[in-house]
Structure 1
Amino acid sequence: MAEPSNPHTAEGINPDPLSPVAAEEEEGGAPGGGLPVLKLSKAGFDNLITDVQMPQEYGAVYPQEGDTGVDAPAGYVTMWAEFFGDCNLRLPLTVFVADLLEWYKLHISQLSPFGMTRIRNFEYTCRAFDIEPTVGDFWRFYQMTVSMGFFSFHQRDGSPKLMTPPKGITKWKTKVFYIKAAAIGAEVTFRNVTDTIITETISVLKVGVVDWFPRLRVIEWKKLSNTRLWVLRMMLTRMSRKVRAVVREKSGEDAALWRMFDPDFKGKVEVVACADSEEGFNLTISDNFRLPELEAMEVELPQGKGTIDKPLLFYK
């Protein structure tokens, strides 16, 4: 695996720490501490798995009655259903998301939807303008935070705005399910939520610091369809490998990816057949994803309750 770009060697850093930071928008836990119990219906779970085209081999399972986010069976990890809603996450993870989890030493279940939203917004903003997203560039815009046992990110003071922070993401801790740990495809760890996170002060990003900065524009947070995530190289579909996705104006002319986010865009993303000599889009973009090892996915998992603090994780 290629190493993610190192934010601490990025041009323009001022390493002078200021004060501890914490996320402000995270909601509290259950009365008396701990996580609230499951309130995602079985029908809601089934519809979610179908809607997001969850690969069957990833072994997504519905929790038992009374389960919480810390009750994943042995060999499985917790996933928050909201990740696959407004947060626009799909599996397999993209290389960018996997690299980010590894760089910040976060387990995916320790991220709140507020943090995942910023991660995926950054990713589709970069891809809309043909910029390859990296951990180092994400770090230029966002400071990691922790609150109520979950990690998130907020915009750095003075950094260019990329999105308006989400509001109204409630009850997400009650909407949980489990997938095989090997499906994550990242070498993730559990970070200590009691560690103090110090504010990092860096120079404001501007023209001349990075060559792609003049191309960047604000793209507000929004929920995207599977096809839009596909054309943005942020998911693999279950479609035929001999098709591709294109953005087209209402006139039928091809359009740049960023046009999908313009208020005056009246076109759509279309799925078209590939020419005989053309490689299907899934094959073209497959290197953009951290695919789990087939052998790891086929390992027979132990029965009974387990704990999510010792996941079985494999990647390539």
Structure 2
Amino acid sequence: MAEPSNPDIAEGENPEPSSPAATKEEEGGAPGGGLPVLRWPKYSFYHLIFEVQMPHEYGAVYPQESDTGADDPAGYVTMWADFFGDCNLRLPLTVFVADVLEWYKLHISQLSPFVMIRVQNFEYTFRALGIEPTVGDFRRFYQLTVSLGFFSFRQRDSSPKLMTPPKGITKWKTKFFYIKAAAVTAQLTFRNVTDTIITETIVVPSVKSVDWFPRLRTIEWQRLSNTQLWVLRMMLGRASRKARPVVREKSGEDATLWRIFDPEFEGKVEVLACEEGEEGFNLTIHNNFRIPDRDALQTPLPQGKGDLGALGDPDAKGVPKKQATGISRTSFRRYTDYVVVSDTLEALGVPGGGAAAAGSSAGSKPAGEKKKRKVEEKAAGAGEKKRPRLQTKRITAVSQPKTAVVAES
């Protein structure tokens, strides 16, 4: 596994812009790593919807000029435009993508395009090799992590390498649109980024652990055409239901699916008309997708804002209870321990003094906030003089990750 260029960034996480100017442009300078406003021309949105053959009934809409990715209207979810470019995502979702979201209890908007590349690469690698992709096998290769307010997957130590991750995708947070939530046919859970993530110990794939290992090979990440996604069973919705794809070598001979990724492959994917009585490819692969319910798509949507307000916030404090069902959450704070270095204890225990003065005072603000804390407080009595300022030193409380031993899938 290649070493990441930045020691603070694990492989599989999207590095942020290195220069202060780029960071300000990317993040909009928002406190806590908030999201930048829309910077994506409307004509690019329409071109994308046409290019990926987005069904009209899915209700894709262009955001308001001052929107961020967290400003989804009620009944809609945010989709990052790069999901449908280099990430090779198409709608409806495949069963595999929906299963990944449900297993990890994630909202699709909480994945960055960089992470979606990993998910999509895994699926087309396995499908090209004739292996059915499953979440159980995905977990053999990747471990869930959190990076800058979004969930990520890093490659598990000692697991075979499926691809070389790209160096980064910039400005993706400024390019997004909204789509009806009913079009994303998975049980989306907006997961708190402060959740404790269990570090899984899983048997890595080998000839002793899985029968498909001899077929495994590295298939590098690349952008695929609609036809290639179709033949890989990762896209539905071709215009003709009476057609079928076939991979052909330059000589005209049939080829296996993985050949389309071989740098020396000079053939192509041909679209052929089905013979009389032959079932079209769309019908053959129909069960590989989570097809949205038409009635759900036509249901009138509520007015107002959606519920992605904490999207992209690395210090998110929680989510609505109706969305957090089934999530194991912790209430730890990142900074709770202080050492008093003053030569007096006079101000300790002052009401309203916050964590620095009273340890864990109810209503005190988390110490990880950027706003400078004020230990200097007035006592409850009117007109009483200010207490002397305490000089404190904050110590980061290091939380050890939980470890679970998971049986071989």
Question: Which TM-score applies when normalising by structure 1?
Answer: 0.88
Give the Cα separation in 1 of the matches to 2:13 and 2:81: 22
CA distance in 2, matches of 1:275, 1:244: 10
CA shift, 1:84, in A, is: 0.4
1:77–1:178 Cα contact (<8 Å) kept: yes
Deviations 1:148-173 (A, max 9, x none): 11011111110000001122300000
Q: Residues 23 and 145 of structure 1 are in contact (CA less than 8 Å); yes or no, is this contact kept in structure 2?
A: no
Specify the alignment match of 1:161 in structure 2. 161
The one-letter code matched in structure 2 to 1:86 is: D
Structural RMSD (CA): 1.8
Q: Match for residue 112 of structure 1?
A: 112
Q: Distance in 2 between matches of 1:52 and 1:91?
A: 9
| Equivalent residue runs for 1:236-247 within 5 Å | 236-247=236-247
- For residues 53-73 of structure 1, what are the alpha-carbon distances to aligned partners after superposition, in whole Å with 9 as ceiling and x for unaligned? 011110000001010001111
Show the counterpart of 1:68.
68
Q: Which secondary structure state, in structure 2, belongs to the residue aligned with residue 116 of structure 1?
A: helix
Please report how far the alpha carbon of residue 208 of structure 1 lies from its aligned counterpart in structure 2 after TM superposition.
2.2
Structure number with the bigger relative contact order (C-alpha 8 A, sep ≥ 6) is: 1
Q: 2:132 is matched by which residue type in structure 1?
A: E
Q: 2:30 is matched by which residue type in structure 1?
A: G
Amino acid at match of 2:302: P
Structure-1 separation of matches of 2:93 and 2:12: 24
Separation (CA, whole Å) in 2 of partners of 1:193 and 1:169: 21
Q: For residue 28 of structure 2, what is the amino acid of its counterpart?
A: A
Cα distance, 1:308 vs structure 2: 3.3
User: Residue 25 of structure 1 aligns to which amino acid in structure 2?
Assistant: N
The 2-side partners of 1:238 and 1:254 are apart by: 22
Cα deviation for residue 294 of structure 1 reads: 1.2
Structure 1: which amino acid aligns with 2:139?
A: W
- Larger mean CA deviation between 198-207 and 185-194 belongs to 198-207
User: Could you list the per-position Cα deviations for residues 60-90 of structure 1 after superposition, in whole angstroms to 9, with x for gaps in the alignment?
Assistant: 0000101000111110000000100000000
Q: Which amino acid aligns with 1:197?
A: I
Match of 1:252 in 2: 252
- Does residue 233 of structure 1 match 2:233? yes
Counterpart amino acid of residue 62 in structure 2: Y
> Hey, what does 1:211 align to over in structure 2?
211
Residue in structure 1 matched with residue 134 of structure 2 by the alignment = 134
Equivalent residue number for residue 301 of structure 1: 301
2:30 maps to which of 15, 21, 32? 32
Q: How does 1:83-98 map to 2 (within 5 A)?
A: 83-98=83-98
Letter in 1 for 2:14: E
Structure 2 distance, partners of 1:182, 1:102, is 15
Q: Which stretches in structure 1 are left out of the alignment for 5+ residues?
A: 1-20
Relative to structure 1, is the Cα distance of residues 23 and 125 closer, same or farther in structure 2, using a 3 angstrom cutoff? Answer: closer
Residue type of the partner of 1:30? G
Q: Indicate whether 1:173 and 2:162 are aligned.
A: no
Whole-angstrom CA distance in 2 between matches of 1:86 and 1:297: 27
Amino acid at match of 1:282: N
Can you list the C-alpha shifts for 1:97-137, whole angstroms capped at 9, x where unaligned? 00110000000000011210000000000000100000000
SS in 2 for 1:204: coil
State whether residues 12 and 114 of structure 2, in contact with CA within 8 Å, keep that contact through their aligned partners in structure 1: no
Q: What one-letter code is carried by the residue in structure 1 that aligns with 2:207?
A: V
Which residue identity is paired with 1:126?
Answer: F
Q: Which consecutive unaligned segments of at least 5 residues does structure 2 have?
A: 1-9, 17-22, 310-319, 324-409
* 1:214 match: secondary structure: helix
Aligned partners of 1:76 and 1:308 also within 8 Å: no
Secondary structure of 2:258 counterpart: helix
Q: Whose Rg is larger?
A: 2
Contact 2:79 2:177 in 1 (8 A): yes
Mean Cα displacement is larger for which, 89-98 or 167-176?
A: 167-176
Q: Equivalent residue for 1:193?
A: 193
Name the residue aligned to 2:288: 288
**Displacement after TM superposition at 1:302 (Å):** 2.6
Aligned residue for 2:49?
49
1:198: how far off? 4.1
Most deviating of 261-270 and 202-211: 202-211
Task: Tell me by how many angstroms 1:202 deviates.
Answer: 2.9
Identity of aligned residues (%): 73
Query: How far is 1:195 from its partner?
Result: 1.6
1:24 deviates by 4.3
Q: Partners of 1:109 and 1:178 in 2: how far apart?
A: 10
For 2:128, give the aligned amino acid: A
3-state SS of the aligned residue for 2:210? coil
